[in-house]
A and B are shown apart, each in its own frame.
Chain A
Amino acid sequence: MKRLNIYTLRQPNNYVWLFVVYILFATNLWSQTKDTGAYQLQEVPIIHTKQELIETSKKTISIDSLTLARYSTTSLADLLAGQSTIHIKSYGNGNIATTSMRGGNANHTALLWNGLMVQNAMLGQQDLSIIPTLFFDNVSLEYGGGSAMWGSGAIGGSIHLQNKPGFNQGFKTKLQMSVGSFGTRKIGTGVLLSYKKVVSNTKVYYTSSENNYSYKDTVDKEKPNKQLTHSDYIAKGVLQEISFLASPYQKVNVRLWYNTMDRNLPSYAAYISKKSQEDKNLKLNADWNYSKNKLNSTIRLGYFNDKLNYTDSLANTFSKTSINTFIGESDNMYTHKNHKFNFGINYTQYNSTLIEKIKKTLPQDLSSLFINNHLSIPLFDTIILHNLNKFALFAAYNLSLFDSKLHYNFAIRKEFTNQTTIPFTGNTGIHYQLTKLIAAKINANKSFRQPTLNDLYWSPGGNPNLKPEDSYEVDGGIELNYKKGDFTVLLEGSYFNRHTKNWIIWLPTPNGYPTPKNITEIYSRGTETKTELAFSKKDILLKLIINTSYVLSTYQKPSGENDNSVGRQLIFTPRYTGQGSVLMRYKNLNILLNNNYTGYRFTSSDNSSWLYPYYIANLKCSYSYSFSTIHMELFCSINNLFNKNYVVVQNMPMPLRNYEAGLSMNYYKPKKKNESLLPIN
């Protein structure tokens, strides 16, 4: 959305974009909360201080609200798999999906919700398949290391999810329902009450799916046509957001996010599965923002409870994990002329509980167990509790020179924990507008990843002596912005180069179980391009977006003398990914055609086995129709348009061509005098 702002807000007479805003009102109410939010700058600046200070010198991608609206019934995993070059490692439709960004693995991507780190500290990663896209007004991606800003885990990049309430918009409500292939039913609703000083935004969704899709088993030559069983799921959740303007300078936001996902996990390799997983996530977030004159202060509080219950009765595994996270942060920005200073503190506490039950199946006839008068019924019931406290100090500085042509930034962060010593992390970068059209950026950062609670304390094998992973990254890019008449062009090419030391891998030990060690070193480097071409005139909008990424991420140090992985590509990390989408709007018709290409991924560290590339296209359309204050929208999606048989992860087939169709009804009662529609700035 940042791009749109530049194009739109700087041109007072741009009626085309006013029309776009009008269409947004007419077609999508949820996404527009954000758009109107952007016009509210005169009241309370919604500044995510830290992010704004640094991101000028980094590569960022913001998913525009029109695209976001097309994914409002899907998970974040589907959104990012379709609309970014992040490799989404999906274990099948509705199954676990993790990320790989810039040649890192799943725990090298940070996930932030309104500035607070939300990924599971036990696993150090986040399953994106349980996060609904619906809940967020803004999804943006920050490429490269960002520990100086966000802390542990931001090595490959960060995903930012934001809620941006818009004041003074009136009453809006929306109900959307859809049906899809494999017995999928989705319903979602939203109610926005937006007054001058108070906003309440409620979103609720419920999704259920049999998810019994057919696939071609490339392993089984005799009976390749198979249907998935034991793969159904139910996902539901609620988001409640309340924003309150306490005074012209003070704003309070309170948010509750609760979602659950119950799913059976299929076994693709075998004909039977008894695996199931239950996720329950509660996230509470409150922030208070004070902004007057040169000072902008925010206090953020977060409490999260993430439960993950995993059962595999065939393997007699019953594990229940629960992790409580408490975060308190004070984040302040002070502006003096062309200097901006940011400083703050963060306290984070994790409490985890793991209950592991391994029941050994008992025979029907217990007498057979009495052997030499010895009865043995092992029943392990392990309860493991762990605490991790973190305290962080951070500061950042931004200087703008030469009539804002040059921006220099510097950031530093130091964390303290009760577990291990964490080094200083930092970021520095320059953004320089070389000509009217071309800007160059260069950035360097030192980031880290703390060992996860599982790495440290897993029993057996956890290694409490692990050091954090350290990464050193330099990246740079050239950006071209051009606009003439109804055309806009954005081109960006970037290069990055990163060494990650003390990379943790689990290795076998003489004790018979694996243990994590800081043994590997990974060298990641690559190029990325971003291209956006847009044409808009009257009732036509055409937008072409192409993102590509080429990443070499190689092992640098052998784990043992027979190790043949040095110089080879990191497993599960594609070298080539590309994403292109065409967004078209003509009057009330919206079309989004999306194409994705993912290259070879290796499944062995010596690169002797691999998975084939896949190219997937999705088509999403909507048609809106209004009568009086009610706006109807019919939408449909064809996923995997060309019916490709593919896997992202070995033995985990993805669905063939599938469909979704639905209807959304919006009712909107605006405030009588809505001066906020006028772009001001």
Chain B
Amino acid sequence: MYRVKLEDYLTLPDFKKMKAYYLIFISIILSACIKDKPQSPDTSISINADNVVLITNEGNYGWGEGTVSVYDPSTGAVVEDYYKQQNSGASLGNVCQSICKYNNNYYIVVNNAHKIVVVNAANFVKTTTINGFNSPRHILPITYNKAYVSDLYAGSVQIIDLNSNTISGSIPCLAGTEKMVLIYNKAFITNSNSDYCYVVNTTTDVITDSVNVGKGNSSIVIDKNAKIWVMASGNSSTSQAGKLTRINPLTLQIEQSFIFNTSENPHELCINKTHDTLYYLDNGVYQFPISGNALPPTPLVNQGSKVYYGLGVNPKDYNIYVSDAIDYVQKSKIEVYKPNGNFVTSFNAGIISNGFLFE
């Protein structure tokens, strides 16, 4: 570095000579700054609660905030954070996992905040919170007074009392329980850590049996013939293949099963309005009639460079809703397709949209 000599300090600067440098200096400082304050999104749209789609958006695990978006298919209007709008700016909390409507309430499962937020179905205003969970995932109403809550880390399924909104008991089982269905007083509970799907007697709240449906089973639906379909994703690191299984809920017999390649990761099993066509994600959206004899070789909708994360089928119009989580840290893109795979529309919801509830 140039060492400044003593006499430099003692002489005054030649300001005439320096003007140009000052100009450069100032222009560097003032060069094309952009305004720091971002534009706030417009959240003043009102939603007709009659025919809308509710979308659960996880938000980033650990630091993000989960949201529920509301979409009106008739107008295309979207409110990205409906809970915040209806609850004077309050947030749901970290990782909004799932939503369920029951008893004129919505039950919003907030996974990493270990709670279920109960909101009034009429206005989406919070009425209470059910606390004490470990890592709650999904809620299944059993009676007007009782519901089951699956849990990723707890070694049990929690039983909640819907009158007092407290945990009233638990059903011990392996941690990793996921989606559930109820039929003939039996709850079928999937478990992503197990090869088995549990069968619970909903009167006694005891696991009575289980069905081997394959590793990583986490989504489950009931078809028009009152048969149960379970999707197991498999585990690519242990070369366990994914499997789609049809169970007779009365006999618990496996009536049909379809094996995927070990490289595949089928998930998000859904069913359409007439309960005769299954949909699932497996690097694309697949369509599979319940009468089918073999898995479809090609997807109905190609995934391309997108990251499909959540799937739903609108029972009102058969339309397929699929979310693209993109890079996990921006608003998801929700794409809507006709049952024939034709693109209808797309819109943005919150960050990491994982599921849909159709009203």
- Chain B: CB-nearest residue to A404: B2
User: Which one of B148-156, B178-186, B311-319 contacts A?
Assistant: B148-156
Q: Does A609 contact B (CB under 8 A)?
A: yes
- Chain B: CB-nearest residue to A366: B172
Q: Nearest chain B CB to A277's CB is how many angstroms away?
A: 14
CB neighbours (8 Å) of A560 from chain B are 304-307, 324, 326-327
- Chain B: CB-nearest residue to A608: B331
Q: Which listed residue (B13, B37, B176, B303) contacts A437, Cβ 8 A? A: B13
Cα distance, A424 to B148, chains bound together (Å): 60
Q: Are B17 and A563 in contact (CB under 8 A)?
A: no
Cα distance, A411 to B92, chains bound together (Å): 53
Q: Which listed residue (B2, B14, B36) contacts A431, Cβ 8 A? A: B2
Q: Are A527 and B28 in contact (CB under 8 A)?
A: yes
Q: Are A559 and B265 in contact (CB under 8 A)?
A: no
Q: Are B325 and A508 in contact (CB under 8 A)?
A: yes
**Restricting to A453-495, which residues have a CB under 8 Å from any CB of B?**
459-460, 477-478, 480-484, 491, 493-495
Q: Nearest chain B CB to A28's CB is how many angstroms away?
A: 27
Q: Nearest chain A CB to B140's CB is how many angstroms away?
A: 19
Q: Nearest chain B CB to A310's CB is how many angstroms away?
A: 13
CB neighbours (8 Å) of A368 from chain B are 172-173, 207
Q: Are B175 and A316 in contact (CB under 8 A)?
A: yes
Contact with B along A615-633 (1 / 0, CB 8 A): 0000000000000000000
- A508 and B25 in contact, given A10-B5, A361-B154, A369-B174 (Cβ under 8 angstroms): no
Q: Are A510 and B113 in contact (CB under 8 A)?
A: no
User: Which one of A152-160, A174-182, A372-380, A579-587 contacts B?
Assistant: A372-380
Q: Does B292 contact A (CB under 8 A)?
A: no
- A376 and B196 in contact, given A436-B13, A512-B267 (Cβ under 8 angstroms): yes
Contact with A along B23-36 (1 / 0, CB 8 A): 01100110101101
Cα distance, A56 to B348, chains bound together (Å): 49
Q: Nearest chain A CB to B40's CB is how many angstroms away?
A: 10
Q: Are B156 and A363 in contact (CB under 8 A)?
A: yes
Q: Does A360 contact B (CB under 8 A)?
A: yes
Cα distance, A225 to B311, chains bound together (Å): 39
User: Which one of A348-356, A647-655, A659-667 contacts B?
Assistant: A647-655
Q: Does A236 contact B (CB under 8 A)?
A: no
Which of the listed residues A315, A483, A510, A559 has the most CB atoms from chain B within 10 Å of its own CB?
A510
Q: Are B29 and A371 in contact (CB under 8 A)?
A: no
Q: Nearest chain A CB to B295's CB is how many angstroms away?
A: 15
User: Which one of A120-128, A203-211, A599-607 contacts B?
Assistant: A599-607
User: Which one of B82-90, B98-106, B221-229 contacts A?
Assistant: B82-90
Cα distance, A658 to B38, chains bound together (Å): 31
Q: Does B1 contact A (CB under 8 A)?
A: yes
Q: Nearest chain A CB to B269's CB is how many angstroms away?
A: 14
Q: Nearest chain A CB to B20's CB is how many angstroms away?
A: 10
Number of B residues, CB within 8 Å of A: 90
| Chain B interface helix/strand/loop/mixed | loop
- Chain B: CB-nearest residue to A565: B330
CB neighbours (8 Å) of B173 from chain A are 363, 368-369
Q: Are A436 and B8 in contact (CB under 8 A)?
A: yes
Q: Are A271 and B18 in contact (CB under 8 A)?
A: no
- Chain B: CB-nearest residue to A520: B327
Q: Does A407 contact B (CB under 8 A)?
A: yes
Cα distance, A315 to B237, chains bound together (Å): 21
Cα distance, A680 to B53, chains bound together (Å): 78
Q: Are B175 and A361 in contact (CB under 8 A)?
A: yes
- A480 and B25 in contact, given A436-B4, A604-B331 (Cβ under 8 angstroms): yes
Q: Are A360 and B8 in contact (CB under 8 A)?
A: no
CB neighbours (8 Å) of B236 from chain A are 460, 511-512
Contact with A along B260-290 (1 / 0, CB 8 A): 0000110100000000000000110000000
CB neighbours (8 Å) of B131 from chain A are 271
Q: Does A386 contact B (CB under 8 A)?
A: no
Number of A residues, CB within 8 Å of B: 91
Q: Are B155 and A363 in contact (CB under 8 A)?
A: yes
Q: Does A344 contact B (CB under 8 A)?
A: no
Q: Nearest chain B CB to A553's CB is how many angstroms away?
A: 12
Q: Does B337 contact A (CB under 8 A)?
A: no
CB neighbours (8 Å) of B333 from chain A are 562, 564
Q: Which listed residue (B3, B34, B94, B331) contacts A564, Cβ 8 A? A: B331
Q: Are B237 and A6 in contact (CB under 8 A)?
A: no
CB neighbours (8 Å) of B10 from chain A are 484
Q: Are B330 and A652 in contact (CB under 8 A)?
A: no
- A376 and B174 in contact, given A508-B328, A650-B63 (Cβ under 8 angstroms): yes
Q: Which listed residue (A561, A600, A651) contacts B305, Cβ 8 A? A: A561
| Chain A interface helix/strand/loop/mixed | loop
Cα distance, A436 to B21, chains bound together (Å): 13
- A651 and B65 in contact, given A435-B17, A495-B31, A512-B233 (Cβ under 8 angstroms): yes
Q: Nearest chain A CB to B124's CB is how many angstroms away?
A: 15
- A435 and B135 in contact, given A10-B3, A314-B153, A369-B174 (Cβ under 8 angstroms): no
Q: Does A438 contact B (CB under 8 A)?
A: yes
Q: Does B297 contact A (CB under 8 A)?
A: no
Contact with A along B138-178 (1 / 0, CB 8 A): 00000000000000011110000000000000001111100
Q: Are B153 and A550 in contact (CB under 8 A)?
A: no
Q: Which listed residue (A6, A478, A483, A510) contacts B282, Cβ 8 A? A: A510
Q: Are A439 and B2 in contact (CB under 8 A)?
A: yes
Q: Which listed residue (A220, A221, A376, A605) contacts B327, Cβ 8 A? A: A605
Q: Does B6 contact A (CB under 8 A)?
A: yes
Q: Are B114 and A272 in contact (CB under 8 A)?
A: yes
Q: Nearest chain A CB to B88's CB is how many angstroms away?
A: 6
Q: Are A220 and B90 in contact (CB under 8 A)?
A: yes
- Chain A: CB-nearest residue to B31: A527
Cα distance, A491 to B196, chains bound together (Å): 70
Q: Nearest chain B CB to A679's CB is how many angstroms away?
A: 13
**Restricting to A398-448, which residues have a CB under 8 Å from any CB of B?**
404-405, 407, 431, 433-439
- A565 and B327 in contact, given A270-B113, A371-B209 (Cβ under 8 angstroms): yes
Q: Nearest chain B CB to A463's CB is how many angstroms away?
A: 14
Q: Does B296 contact A (CB under 8 A)?
A: no
CB neighbours (8 Å) of A364 from chain B are 172
- A603 and B64 in contact, given A431-B2, A436-B8 (Cβ under 8 angstroms): yes
Q: Are A650 and B65 in contact (CB under 8 A)?
A: yes
- A374 and B196 in contact, given A407-B1, A436-B4, A495-B28 (Cβ under 8 angstroms): yes
Q: Does A610 contact B (CB under 8 A)?
A: yes
Q: Are A603 and B63 in contact (CB under 8 A)?
A: yes
- A271 and B114 in contact, given A6-B3, A508-B325, A651-B63 (Cβ under 8 angstroms): yes
Q: Are B154 and A604 in contact (CB under 8 A)?
A: no
Q: Are B65 and A376 in contact (CB under 8 A)?
A: no
Q: Does A552 contact B (CB under 8 A)?
A: yes
Q: Are B36 and A576 in contact (CB under 8 A)?
A: yes
CB neighbours (8 Å) of B28 from chain A are 477-478, 493-495, 527, 529
CB neighbours (8 Å) of B3 from chain A are 6, 10, 404
- Chain A: CB-nearest residue to B304: A561
CB neighbours (8 Å) of B356 from chain A are none
Cα distance, A650 to B66, chains bound together (Å): 12
Q: Nearest chain A CB to B13's CB is how many angstroms away?
A: 5
Q: Are A604 and B351 in contact (CB under 8 A)?
A: yes
- Chain A: CB-nearest residue to B151: A361
> Beyond A220-B90, A508-B325: 8 further Cβ-contacts under 8 Å?
A269-B113, A271-B131, A361-B155, A480-B21, A493-B28, A527-B28, A560-B305, A600-B36
Binding site for B on A (CB under 8 A): 6, 10-11, 56, 219-222, 269-272, 314-316, 360-365, 368-369, 371-372, 374, 376-378, 404-405, 407, 431, 433-439, 459-460, 477-478, 480-484, 491, 493-495, 505-508, 510-512, 514, 527, 529, 550, 552, 559-565, 571, 575-576, 599-600, 602-610, 613, 649-652
A-B contact pairs, 25 of them (CB 8 A): A10-B3, A10-B5, A11-B6, A219-B91, A221-B90, A222-B90, A269-B94, A360-B193, A363-B173, A368-B173, A371-B207, A372-B196, A376-B174, A378-B193, A404-B2, A477-B28, A478-B25, A508-B328, A510-B303, A512-B233, A512-B265, A561-B304, A564-B333, A571-B329, A604-B331
